Amino acid sequence: MSSPVRRTTLELISACRDGEQLAWNELVERYGRLVTSIASGYRFSQADVDDVFQTVFLRCFESLTGIGDPSKLSAWLITTTHRACWRLGKRSRRYRDFETNVADPAAPTADALIDGELQFLMNEALRELGGRCEDLLRAIYFEPSEPDYQMLADRLGISPNSVGPTKARCFEKLEYVLARRGFFGPGSKSDPNRTD
Binding site for other proteins (CB under 8 A): 16-21, 23-25, 27-28, 32-33, 35-37, 39-41, 46, 49-50, 53-54, 57-59, 61-63, 65-66, 115, 118-119, 122-123, 137, 141-142, 164-165, 167-169, 171-172, 174-175, 178-179, 183-184, 189-190, 192
Helix axes 73-91, 21-41, angle to 10 degrees: 50
In the bound state with other proteins, the residue whose beta carbon lies nearer, of 155 and 167, is 167
Q: Tell which residue, 153, 20, 122, 4, has the closest CA to residue 28.
A: 20
In the bound state with other proteins, the residue whose beta carbon lies nearer, of 19 and 131, is 19
Q: Tell which residue, 52, 29, 33, 55, has the closest CA to residue 21.
A: 29
In the bound state with other proteins, the residue whose beta carbon lies nearer, of 103 and 185, is 185
In the bound state with other proteins, the residue whose beta carbon lies nearer, of 28 and 102, is 28
Cα separation, 186 vs 155, in Å, equals 38
**CA angle centred on 70, ends 56 and 119, rounded to 5°:** 65
- Closest separation in Å from C-beta 175 to other proteins: 6
71 sits in which H/E element: none
- Closest separation in Å from C-beta 50 to other proteins: 4
In the bound state with other proteins, the residue whose beta carbon lies nearer, of 33 and 96, is 33
- Closest separation in Å from C-beta 88 to other proteins: 14
- Closest separation in Å from C-beta 157 to other proteins: 21
- Closest separation in Å from C-beta 155 to other proteins: 18
The string of DSSP letters for 143-154 reads -TT---HHHHHH
Q: Specify burial of residue 16 (Cβ count, 10 A radius: 0-12, 13-18, 19+).
A: buried
